Each structure stands twice: as structure tokens, then as C-alpha cells.
Chain A
Amino acid sequence: MNASDRRAAVARRLWPLVSLLLLVSLTTLVLAGGSPSLQRVLLTGLVDLVLVVGRYCFVGQSGIISFGHAAFMAAGAYTMALLTIPAPLKGSLVAVPHTVRTGTVSPLIAILLAGLVAALLAAVVSIPLMRLNGLSAGLATVSLLIVVRVVSQNWDQLTNGLGGLYGIPPIADPWAALPWALGAIVLAFAYQSSRFGLRLRSSRDDEVAARSIGVHVKLERGLAFVVSAFVTGVGGALYARSVGAINPDSFFLDITFVVIAMLVVGGTTSLAGAVVGTLALSAISELLRQAEQGSLLVPAQSGVRDVGLAVVVLVVLLLRPQGLTGGRELPFPTVRLRRRSAAPSPPPASTQAPS
């Protein structure tokens, strides 16, 4: 193999990552110049992207649908709030130890710590959870969601209960969220390309066969759960910053549905699916919101968007159960060059009509 072949091989291997980074960066570049409301949509979309990629790390690789990730999001968001709300306000909201009450840390440190807290929670939970078989584990994550919700509703000293926490220094600029979204994609890609990702996917495709070749399924699943929780915790921290105020309802079924819907619409088994699904559903969701406000035919009721989103997800599931990307990464452009003479850049699989 000569040098240029090697370079081509590396390019081919990294293409799924590079194409997604480009796709997300270009989308940000195009939309960031828009109106404030469009910037808002973009910011929300980027935060959602971190959450979806986070969930993908576990769900996509292990094949187990998790309903409990909003718990990690909550852990990240509350950590973020406790670390960054200005001291005087924090003192009036919560009754935490002196050092936490009076000190604040920089957003960067706070976001990373938020991810670590979520990862720690996941590490503890995964020990019993991964003893269960796939489907039961997915259902058992529901109990994690409930436990964290009940605790955040009632632990007034730490979470200010139903009132929630507010005064988190907000970000309004989508560019501030972009590096985290790109970072999440890089981390997810690194994980799925590693031997750990490969082992876990082997157990997803055939658990018995994977075990027979020495894959420690519980351990691999637990590891993915922790990585996934870390990214989700970071996403929760970004969420807290993007909205400025959080309460226990922010981390329950609505966000769970939105994130799972984005992942499923894109295709659970590929990173491209996570990204494309987030972009597609963010756009549809925004269109529905505008339709709900602008059209006289539909009364201004918040339910219309939810109904529309659910219908979109159901239609995709019925017509294209593998998601828009078919559960594959974006194909390398040269392949397209040979098949069709035109060579437009990235999203070929993603824009295909459902078949």
C-alpha cells in the first residue's frame, strides 16, 4: 500500500465524522446570521443535538432503548445551576453547603463537571441495570426517570423543588453551543470506532454470538451507558444555560419523547442518523410552531405542534423503520460520483424520500 492509498483509506474512514462536522458547522453558519428567533431555534437545535448524540452513544450501539436519559440531563442541568447561579441569588434559592453556596466556577468547568456528575450517576445505576436483558433494561430505565424526578421535585434544599432554579447565566449565541455539539459528535465517533464500540455493536446484532467470542456484554453496555450519560449531562448543562431556568418538568416525558423521536427519525444505528434526525425534526418542529401561530385554520393551542410531531414520527416509523439514513453513515462521495454523474456534497442518504 503506497502513501496515497493510505491517505485515501484514512479519508474514507474519517469521512462519516468529517461530513457530519461540516454539515453541522455549515447549518450553523447559514442560520446564525438570521433573525433572533431563528438564532433561538438554532441554539435549541444544537443543544438537542448534544442530547441526541448522547443518547445515541448508548441506544445506537447497544440496541437498548433508554427512557431514562432525561435523568442524566437533569443531573447535568442541576449541577450546572448550582455551580453558576450568582452567589446572592443562589443563597436565597437553595440551602447547600457554604462552599457551593458562595462559590461559582467558570462555565467551561461547570459544564464538564455536569457531565461527570451524570456519568457518575450512570456508573452507579448501570451495575444493577446491565444485569437485565435488553428489553427489561430499557423498561427499568423508566424507574430511573421517576426516581430522579421525584427527588428533584422534593429535595428543596438542593433543587428548590417545584419552583426550580433560575438565574443561570444564559447564552443566546448559537456559536457558544457549536463547539459542544461538534465535541459530542467527535466523542461519539471516537467511541463507536473504538474496539469498545465494535464489541458492543456485536452484542447488539447477536448477543449470544458476541458472548461466545468473549465479549463481556454487561461491561460493554455499562461503559456505553457512562459515556452516553456524560454527553447527556453536558447536554443538560447546555440546556440549563440556553433557557436560564429549570424545574423538574423540564426533564420528564416531553424531552424524552423529543430526543427519542429525533434519534428514531434519523435512524438509531448511525451517528449520521442522530445528526440528520435532529436537524430534520428541529426544522419540522419550527415549521409546525409557525403554522400553529400563523394559520387561522388552526386555533392557537400548544397541542398542535405535539400532535404534528407525533404524526411525523409515526409516519417515518411505519414507512421507513430504519430512519431517514437507513441506519447507515453518510456514504463517501466518490461512490456517488460513479453512480450518478452529479456530485453535490454531503447529505445523499438523508434527503432520500421515504420508500
Chain B
Amino acid sequence: MSSVLENLISGITSGSLYALYALGIAVIFGIMRLVNFAHGELIMSGTYAVFLAAGLPVPLQIAVALAAPLVLALGMERVAFRPIRGASPGTLLVTSFALSFLLQSLATLIFGTLPKAANIAPALQGSVGLLGLTVARLDLVTIAVTLALLGGVGAFLSRTRFGAQMRASAEDFTMARLLGVKADRVIAAAFAISGMLAGIAGFLLMAQTGTATPTDGLYPLLFGLVATVVGGLGSLWGAVLGGYLVGLLSTLLQVTLPDSIRPYHDAFVFGAIFFFLVFRPSGLVVPRIARTRV
């Protein structure tokens, strides 16, 4: 029984991370119809920022981990995505793919391909006893931080004027602009939120693995992408739900697959997602914008 609960907690932990990745992707997709492949590189920039700030006190590390992806996200919006705003989703997709490749190559050029190790936040390491269970401290922190962030983003979207503008833009961008929503500001805000989510994810990832590599962004991106598709492209809460679902599924397979085929774990996860989509092609939550109006 206790092992089941422990596994559940570790599933919720990966789910939390996936939800962070997915939300960062969904918040931009909702407004711009842009699937940002470079979101993984925002996370990667967070891990390198933490590596570079390794000597500083933890709050400063977090600040740096947030600042780097934030600046990068706003920069990529300004340089790469603003000029082609309104282009077809295919063009946007390929642009972000090229951008992702560029940032990854740059990281390789600057830092080399070998992992950079740093001892991050020792206070987060180790495990604690909780109601008779042994739980990694980092897992608890990850779950708590994610819940706080989701709550924060939710409150921002539902309670503030700016959040309302963002939701309106996600619903119908043209209409929102006609009603006086400033496109540049709303999109910049979406990228800022995305960058901030990537920064936190980067910090948590770095705390988990202790190393930064140029390919750090790859798996977060892939899991974030499938989570958004599972959740329903265009829906923020669908993305979060998709993230938790993929995380739980991944852990479930990790625990139940026999040893001989455990190396195929990722193949099973992605295969399962593939077949989930057969039965629910539009994902869990189908936002109004996703339906074709005739």
C-alpha cells in the first residue's frame, strides 16, 4: 500500500513538471496559434542560468533562473515571431523549430556537449518521512511549486484585467483587437508567462539532475507537446490535465512493465498516447476555437 502511494507521489511529481512544460507551450499557442518548439530551449537556458549562478544564494539562483528564459522568451518573440505573426501555423511551427535548433547549437558552441554539473540547493535533496511514507523532498517541492504556479497563473487569468484580455485574445484574437486589446502587449505577456514557467521548470530540472546540457530542453519539449495534444490544443487547463495524465501514465508504466521490456518505457508512453488520440482525436478538453465553423 505504502509503495503504491509513493509511486503515486512520484507520478504526480513528473505530472507536475509535464504540466509546467505543457502550460508554457499552451499559453502561447492559445493566442498566437504558435506551437513553440523553442520552449525546450527556454528551459535549457534556465538550467544553464542556474549552473552559472551556482555559487549564489538560492533565492538569487531562482531569480537568475527566471530572468534568463524570460529575457530569451521576450527576445525571440520580438526578433523571430513578431515579423511573421499571422502566418500559417505551419510556418510558425517551422520557424520555432529552426529557432530551437539555433539555440541548441549555440549552447553547444558556448558550453560544449558535455554536461555541466553544479550542486543545486542541497536543502532540497534527501527525503523526508511523511505519514509513514518516504518521499523525496524535491518531489514535495515540485508538487507544491507547481500547484502554486498554476494557482497564480489561474488567478492572473481570471482575476486581473490583463488576464481577461489574454483570455479574450485566446478565444478570438481578431475580435479582441477590435475591442481595444493591444496585440503586442498581450503576446509579450504570454511569452513572459511562458518564459517564467520555463525558468521554474529549468530550476526544478537542474535540482533533480544536477547537470545542464544543450539537449536539456528536448524531453521537456516532447512531453510538453504530447501533453498539450492529449489535453486538447488550445486549452490551458487541458494542457495541465494532459501533463498530469502523461506523468501518471509514465510512472504507471515504469512500475508495471517487466524488467525485460522496461528500456522501451518511452516507446510505450508515446505509443499509448498515440492510441489515446485514436479514440479522442481532439484531446481531453476541446476548446471552442478548435472547432471548424462553417
Contact = CB atoms under 8 A, between A and B. Distances in A.
B281 A133 contact: yes
Contacts of B267: 146-147, 150-151
Interface string A284-304: 000000000000000001111
Interface string B79-99: 010011001111101110111
Main secondary structure on chain B at its contact with chain A? helix
A113 B270 CA distance: 27
A128 B105 contact: no
Contacts of A321: 84, 87, 91
Contact of B225 (A139, A144, A309): A139
Contacts of A136: 229, 233, 277, 281-283
A63 B87 CA distance: 13
B87 A307 contact: no
B263 A154 contact: yes
A146 B270 contact: yes
A307 B105 contact: yes
A interface: dominant SS: helix
Interface in B245-294: 263-267, 270-271, 273-275, 277-278, 281-283, 290, 292, 294
Contacts of B270: 143-144, 146-147, 150
A110 to B, nearest CB: 26
Contacts of A32: none
Given A136-B233, A147-B271, A150-B267, A142 B226 contact: yes
B222 A146 contact: yes
A134 B91 CA distance: 13
Contact of B264 (A64, A140, A154, A317): A154
Contacts of A310: 98-99, 101-102, 105
Contacts of B83: 318
Interface residues of A, number: 46
25 contacts: A64-B90, A65-B90, A65-B94, A128-B278, A133-B282, A135-B89, A138-B93, A139-B225, A139-B226, A139-B228, A139-B229, A140-B274, A146-B266, A150-B263, A150-B266, A153-B263, A253-B101, A257-B98, A261-B98, A301-B109, A304-B109, A310-B101, A314-B95, A317-B95, A321-B91
Given A146-B267, A147-B266, A318-B84, 4 more contacts: A150-B263, A154-B264, A307-B106, A310-B105
Interface of A: 63-65, 67, 128-129, 131-136, 138-140, 142-144, 146-147, 150-151, 153-154, 207-208, 253, 257, 260-261, 264, 268, 301-304, 306-307, 309-311, 313-314, 317-318, 321
Nearest 5 pairs of A and B residues by beta carbon: A310-B102, A306-B105, A303-B109, A143-B270, A150-B267
